Amino acid sequence: MTAASRINRMTPYLFLAPAALVLVIALLYPIGFMIYASFLDWRPSQYISEAEWVGLRNYINLASDEAFLESFGVTLRFAAIVVTLEMALGVGLALLLDRKLRGMAALRTIFILPMMIAPIVVGLMWRYMYHPTVGIFNRTLKDWGFDPIPWLSDGSWSFVAVVIADVWQWTPFIFILSLAALQSLPQSALEAAQIDGASGWQKIIYIKLPLMMPVLIVAVLLRLIDAFKVLEVILVMTNGGPGLSTEILSLRIFRTAQEFQELGYAAAMSNYLLIMLMLLTIAMFAYNSLTERRSARLRAAAQEDA
């Protein structure tokens, strides 16, 4: 192999080297540092080199930590409920508005406004609306002759309150992705279904949704990841209370590190969350590859029919 050919072969790697270096420094090093810290009894008053090595003790203690297990359960329930509601509402709105309407550009802009608001502002806004005496919800209920609802002082209602706030903020994200997927569907598939006499519901169930599935899976994955690590809105609205009714895992990690000053223990919790999200991501990508192959077969069949 000549020197020129070796240089040509190495050129792509030379261009990738700066990006790879940034990735190692900005991503892999902090993750490795967190993994290392999870094996220590580390306090903020210590240098990490002074922390005591405890091995797997932090991970073993988590298995019997009732607060951690409660937060883990709240996180699973919160993520499952908000993502299900957001997918149903977002996809439903996209199917409803997938037509030529006057002012559609302005409507899209209005829909994405909740996503553009800072999470702290969202939390404060909903906290004031849920205020027991001057909040708009209880004032409206009182005007209609109903009893006020303890939105943020009752465990069950506080969970409902944070779910509503998250659904309000992130349903537009699903709507925009779903509408973009709908408008990029091959018209040949829809025309073939129309010729075969398919009804509107049949076209949605057997044509539109299967072809949209790769985009919807990515949307679900992104929202699940974000729902598992949401922090600011719940921190401002309820601070995890009352009790542990709205304390999701990211808030438990924050309190363990900030209030209890157990950095090694908080790092172990973070690793549990990281592993869970990695497994979820792998599973979703595997399912996505299957749906993409199915969508490719549907597109090919539609082109043959056309």
Least trusted range by pLDDT, from 47-61, 174-188, 260-274: 174-188
pLDDT at 190 over 60: yes
pLDDT at 305 over 60: no
Least trusted range by pLDDT, from 36-50, 156-170, 188-202: 188-202
Domains and CATH numbers, the chain: 66-305 (1.10.3720.10)
Mean pLDDT across the chain: 86
Question: Residue 125: which pLDDT band, with cuts at 50, 70 and 90?
Answer: very high
Question: Residue 304: which pLDDT band, with cuts at 50, 70 and 90?
Answer: low
Average pLDDT estimate for 119-138: 91
How much is the pLDDT for 293? 76
pLDDT at 207 over 60: yes
Amino acid at 252: R
Shortest CA distance to 94 belongs to which of 185, 13, 155? 185
Question: Residue 112: which pLDDT band, with cuts at 50, 70 and 90?
Answer: confident
**In whole angstroms, what is the distance from residue 209 CA to residue 298 CA?**
12
pLDDT at 298 over 70: no
Q: Encode pLDDT of 62-88 as tens digits.
A: 989 999 999 999 999 999 999 999 999
How much is the pLDDT for 295? 66
Q: Encode pLDDT of 142-155 as tens digits.
A: 999 989 999 998 98
Query: What pTM was estimated for this model as a whole?
Result: 0.85
Backbone angles phi, psi at 40, to 5 degrees: -120, 155
Least trusted range by pLDDT, from 3-17, 36-50, 62-76, 141-155: 3-17
Question: Residue 301: which pLDDT band, with cuts at 50, 70 and 90?
Answer: low
pLDDT at 218 over 60: yes
Q: Encode pLDDT of 250-292 as tens digits.
A: 999 999 998 888 999 999 999 988 888 888 888 877 877 777 7
> Residue 98 in contact with residue 181, Cβ under 8 Å?
no
pLDDT at 1 over 60: no
Burial (CB count within 10 angstroms: exposed 0-12, middle 13-18, buried 19+), residue 152: buried
- Using a pLDDT cut of 70, give the percent of the chain over it: 95
Determine the longest span between alpha carbons in the chain, in angstroms. 88
How much is the pLDDT for 107? 77
Average pLDDT estimate for 9-36: 84
